[in-house]
Chain A
Amino acid sequence: MSVMESSALGAPAVRSGPPPPVGPPPRRSGTDRREWLLAAGLLLPNLALLTMFVYRPLIDNFRLSFTDYNISAPTGANSVGTANYVEWFGRDDTRTIVGNTIIFTFATVIISMVLGLALALLLDQKLRGRNVVRSLVFAPFVVSGAAIGVAFQFVFDPSFGLIRDLLSRVGASTPDFFQDSTWAMFMVTTTYIWKNLGYTFVIYLAALQGRRIDLDEAAEIDGATPWTHFRRVLLPQLRPTTFFLSITVLLNSVQVFDLIYAQTRGGPVGTGTTTLVFQVYQETFVNMRAGYGATVATIMFLILLTITFIQVRVMDRGTKA
């Protein structure tokens, strides 16, 4: 531990009191053992559950990815070596599905974080009725994706939907959200951003409310413009929150299934809105190729692992800078 600590205003302060002891701490074997036992007692049940319900299925999934396992024949899987992986890399639809996953994930992560932050900044002000608005913004997050997917079908339906009604009032035609791949992707992405906005908003709002007011005051005294205040004072303080959100929203977005199932079933044109996680479902439960589904799941895991690793490194570098 450093002997220097930062004061509330950022100026270095000299720590008072006696200097820290030098040399190895005295041996306290009885206390150490008790601490170890306590730690083990607290950790082992969780580790056992994690092993049983997280790591064992993970390993099982990896094993199944080298088989031709049919979901309807639980005991009849044969080894196929790396054939499933070779097939995935060589298939025509792989590029489309990976592209869909990237578009959907990054659009939802970036837009829901930007909008969540904007809303949090707005509703952090002392406005009349802000608590009601906060509740309204957060509400969609707790509704199930399937329910929202079904409800939004009535918004986007090109024959009967709300958007059609609004566009027809200004004489514009309605895009066919269910038949055109680009518009279908727009529909599922927009719907998910709407659902997820409450989450990013609440986390950013909590971070804003826990910020250091003295820095705001200092910025005001220095005559900082709102933009400078946001960029130089608020944003650096929100960095850990942004990092946390970027990981959690990314992991949530990449796993979205219920909403896509309810709205498009991965279509139109078969793969118009099929993401990797939807492909896992499609191959496992529709094409009955659970072995191939496990392959897609494994590839998806490796991609996520890489992205998370990069995020951690980038954040770590930023923290050190």
Chain B
Amino acid sequence: MKDLTRRGFLGLAGAAGVAAGLAACAGTGSAPSASGGGGAAAGGPLQFWSNHPGTSKDTEAKLIEAFQKANPGITVSLIDGGKNYEEVAQKFNAALAGGQLPDVIVASDVTWFNFALNKQLAPLDDLLAAAGLKTDDYVDALYNDYKFNGKHYALPFARSTPLFYYNKAMWTAAGLPDRGPTTWDEFKEWAPKLAAVAGADKVALQLADGSNYLDWYFQNMAWSMGGQLSKEWTATASDPKTVAAGQFLQDLAKNKWAKFSKSPDAEFSAGIAAACLQSTGTLGGITKNAKFEFGTAFLPGDGACPTGGAGVAIPAGLSDERKKNAVKFIEFLTNTESTVTFTQATGYMPVRKSALDNEAEKAFLEKNPRAKVAVQQLSKTRSQDNARVLVPGGGARIGKALDQIAQGGDVATVFAALDKETQAAIDSQIKPKL
């Protein structure tokens, strides 16, 4: 028994360590300090946590430099918050549990609401008013995406929409007009011609998979066919029109007209796909990498384009002084001049109405008709369904269902299960806090 005890102790201690590590992941439920953390606690520079959307790190640094010049006495540190929006949110969650808060975070269309609902983001309306800053110049649809209970919790920053990208040479070879399809039915007619032109190793349409925002692009398919993923706080993926959209997606996959991957822009840029759906934020990357002539077009289905991307927000737990400086910074980051600089560098959309009257922006759009398409599509956008953007885990949940459909799962059954999960999350995690 002597050996057993020693080995047993070591083994059990090891296993306990495993659970302890996991417990540490879950946090311990401590509240953040009232005075804020990070830069705030130290009285140091404002900490701006960003994932640098659209590989914008250099552009962000340039904007920070301009802000510091215009506001002597306030300095800003640009901190890598993760490689995508979700990682910034996870890091912010860790900060909430640990009490060391940043001053400004990039909050995506999918992540901001959970923080606002749990009172972890500062409402900006009063802060902006106190600083004498106006908001009527922001594009209304983009600014109101962050509205909850009559207050705004972020300012639009790296805002995007999906775009339809197409390879002009393949389009010509298939005998198609030099434009995107106006409806998904039209694309279905074009798909066999494109597939024939593309050949065995290539594909007519490359789409993101369920782990990489297929749920965002599917909003367009569902809306263009009259469906919705939810209506307010009721899950509606089982609606016959949404099911029809799911069936359409499955048909694209079954007929090998569409393939799914992690980053469709890579396949498109390599000439493997005749078309792809991607964010306006990847326009810069595709322009750089594609060695052929390509065009951009509105998404099929008039008025069925979702907005997306991210805004900038301020944690609620900061001191008033820090909030005052932080709101000055986020307003500067999204003012007319900054939005012109940012959008030209990345392909994201201008978030200010006045940006479109800016001479530099006008000249840029004239020179870059593909970017102009993205800006023109802005008037055709609508805010996404709550099931995707406001319900915790919504994107991943819908993505999983779409993966199942793409791989041949029964659409009605998959969407019925999705509705059940979505509604359970709404009823348990959101409704009690509304």
A312 CB contacts on chain B under 8 angstroms: 4, 7-8, 11
**Taking the complex as formed, is B18 at the interface, i.e. its CB lies under 8 A from any CB of chain A?**
yes
Shortest distance from the beta carbon of A133 to any chain B beta carbon, whole Å: 31
- Contact for B11 among A55, A92, A300, A308, CB less than 8 A: A308
B7 with A315: CB separation less than 8 A:
yes
A36 CB contacts on chain B under 8 angstroms: none
A300 with B18: CB separation less than 8 A:
yes
- Contact for A70 among B16, B118, B399, CB less than 8 A: B118
B17 CB contacts on chain A under 8 angstroms: 54, 251
The segment out of B28-36, B62-70, B223-231, B366-374 that lies at the interface is: B28-36
**Taking the complex as formed, is B23 at the interface, i.e. its CB lies under 8 A from any CB of chain A?**
yes
B211 CB contacts on chain A under 8 angstroms: 264-268
Most B CB atoms within 10 A — which of A69, A308, A319?
A308
**Taking the complex as formed, is B403 at the interface, i.e. its CB lies under 8 A from any CB of chain A?**
yes
B407 with A71: CB separation less than 8 A:
no
Task: Assess A74 versus B407: contact at CB under 8 Å? Given A159-B261, A316-B7.
Answer: no
Shortest distance from the beta carbon of B199 to any chain A beta carbon, whole Å: 14
A159 with B270: CB separation less than 8 A:
yes
In the bound assembly, the distance between CA atoms of A255 and B15 in angstroms comes to: 11
B18 with A267: CB separation less than 8 A:
no
The segment out of B89-97, B238-246, B277-285 that lies at the interface is: B89-97
Mask: chain B, 76-117; 1 = CB below 8 Å from A; 0 = not:
000000000010011001001100000000000000001100
Main secondary structure on A side of the interface with B: helix
A179 CB contacts on chain B under 8 angstroms: 209, 260-261, 403, 406-407
Most B CB atoms within 10 A — which of A55, A72, A304?
A72
B270 CB contacts on chain A under 8 angstroms: 159-160
In the bound assembly, the distance between CA atoms of A87 and B198 in angstroms comes to: 48
Shortest distance from the beta carbon of A82 to any chain B beta carbon, whole Å: 16
- Contact for B20 among A58, A266, A285, A286, CB less than 8 A: A58
**Taking the complex as formed, is A188 at the interface, i.e. its CB lies under 8 A from any CB of chain B?**
no
B25 CB contacts on chain A under 8 angstroms: 280-281, 284, 293, 297
In the bound assembly, the distance between CA atoms of A158 and B403 in angstroms comes to: 17
In the bound assembly, the distance between CA atoms of A179 and B18 in angstroms comes to: 30
Interface bracket on B: 35 or more
A58 CB contacts on chain B under 8 angstroms: 16, 19-20, 23
The segment out of A23-31, A109-117, A122-130, A269-277 that lies at the interface is: A269-277
Instruction: Name B248-264 residues within 8 Å CB distance of A.
Output: 260-262
Q: Which residues of A contact B (CB under 8 A)?
A: 53-55, 57-58, 60-62, 64, 68-77, 92, 153, 158-160, 178-179, 243, 247-248, 251, 254-255, 264-271, 277, 280-282, 284-290, 293-294, 297-298, 300-301, 304-305, 308-309, 311-313, 315-316, 319
18 A-B pairs within 8 Å (CB atoms) are namely A58-B23, A61-B26, A69-B29, A70-B118, A71-B26, A71-B93, A72-B114, A160-B266, A179-B260, A251-B15, A251-B17, A267-B210, A284-B26, A285-B90, A293-B25, A298-B19, A300-B18, A301-B15
Q: Which residues of B contact A (CB under 8 A)?
A: 3-4, 7-8, 11-12, 14-32, 86, 89-90, 93, 96-97, 114-115, 118-120, 209-211, 260-262, 266-267, 270, 272, 392-393, 396-397, 399-401, 403-404, 406-407, 417, 425, 428-429
| Given A267-B400, A300-B19, A316-B7, 5 further pairs, Cβ under 8 A | A74-B32, A287-B392, A290-B26, A297-B23, A301-B22
